[in-house]
Structure 1
């Protein structure tokens, strides 16, 4: 099998379309039912349910506030916990079907470690702020905005490192230590589609081949990285400011509702943006290869 040189991990195996634009061979809509169910449950767990339970129980019952937050906290992490367990199982299977390219069995992937850090902090805050006899409402409103700040900083940091060709300080999923740091959006797409989307190792290789071969694709990834990084950081910081300046009953709704609204707006914009970018990528690819083709 022939290889092409790469900028992230070195030599990359060619895909069957050796003389064309490498294909990703993954259609998100083939998994639309699972996507709809999982996304819906995550939205309920991370936004709608906490808000509904808080305002419903806070203003319409005489339950002690500690009991109210005990009920709310008990539901947190049910869906994400199941998805997390499934990710763990797939990544530690003896076969390397879902693991990063060249990844070891017990190292997981970069997305898994990022989410583990954020999830642990969020859970700690929810438990700690619920313990006092009178729960700390404002801290109980900050877990998701705080995670947005973490993710935004990571996206921006990797964006800067990628733009400056800074070597990766550690293995970042399929990218080994010392190779050029990829934008975090690239890593998130690779890991989530490969593991949670069940596309597996073949998708990791296909995505890497596409990234290495297409300048337009790399540009799109970089743009999305800045779009989500700056957006998440601004939303997270802005939400935190509001939480600590408005009445606590309002702050709780803002803390759990603002990230949800942000995610909807950014996701819809991303879908439209990526579709347009992929069409432009194909146009530029055809134009470039038509011009470089030998004249007969």
Structure 2
């Protein structure tokens, strides 16, 4: 019988990490699936996303918390992440794709570890094979998750490079002192908003209304209007 005496306690011990990662992977898949349905709202606050808002991919919550807490970015880091998530379709796609990839990878790792552990346990005839089982599972854990991390990081780099090229084409870089809301690139709701802080003659532009006649304000308004038209033409 497979679950008996030493072997019955040995198998759950070896599968401790695979089971944990399998549950984690399933959670990632479920949360990311909820984010694909905007009509489904969060029942409670998750990270900086308030209750009643649509779900985000699982990676978005993890990324925001890691940079804000472990990374020491604090509340300003959470705000910056949320603005980037709202304003960049490429960034949102990256979070979704990588979340699905990580969830599937963790579930596959659990399945492989389960098959490996049960297979070796069925043919174990002594303590030496138990050590081999531990070693094989540790090797699988390191290699599989290192490969997963490498592939995920490569995808993240490619998405970020693509995002940077897109924003450079729209000439949204090289303008210090500008804060742009999620409507700045004309991707949502057909509106945009630009605000300038840090000078004696603060100015703002909302929904195409120019309130400053300076050359800089005109240039910003023109760029945002072009972005708005571009966003509507793609929609």
Q: TM-score range by the shorter chain?
A: 0.5 to 0.7
1:256 partner SS = helix
The CA deviation at 1:135 is 8.2
* 1:151 maps onto 2:24 in alignment: yes
Alignment of 1:63-102 (within 5 A): none
**Could you list the per-position Cα deviations for residues 153-210 of structure 1 after superposition, in whole angstroms to 9, with x for gaps in the alignment?**
1110011100112211322111122211111111111111211121211111111110
Please report the RMSD computed on the Cα atoms of aligned residues, expressed in angstroms: 2.5
Structure with the higher helix share, 1 or 2: 1
**Matching residue of 2:111:** 237
* 1:186 maps onto 2:60 in alignment: yes
The 2-side partners of 1:293 and 1:173 are apart by 30
The 1-side partners of 2:111 and 2:85 are apart by 32
The 1-side partners of 2:28 and 2:21 are apart by 10
Change (3 A) 1:293 1:182: closer
Q: Could you list the runs of 5+ residues in structure 1 that have no partner in the other structure?
A: 1-131
1:198 partner SS = coil
Give the structure with higher Rg (CA).
2
Residues paired across the two proteins, number: 164
The CA deviation at 1:251 is 2.6
**Matching residue of 1:281:** 163
Asked whether the 8 Å contact 1:138–1:244 carries over to 2, the reply is: yes
The 2-side partners of 1:134 and 1:221 are apart by 41
The 1-side partners of 2:114 and 2:159 are apart by 33
> Structure 2 length as normaliser, TM-score?
0.63
The CA deviation at 1:274 is 1.2
The 2-side partners of 1:224 and 1:159 are apart by 10
> Structure 1 length as normaliser, TM-score?
0.51
2:119 partner SS = coil
* 1:206 maps onto 2:88 in alignment: no
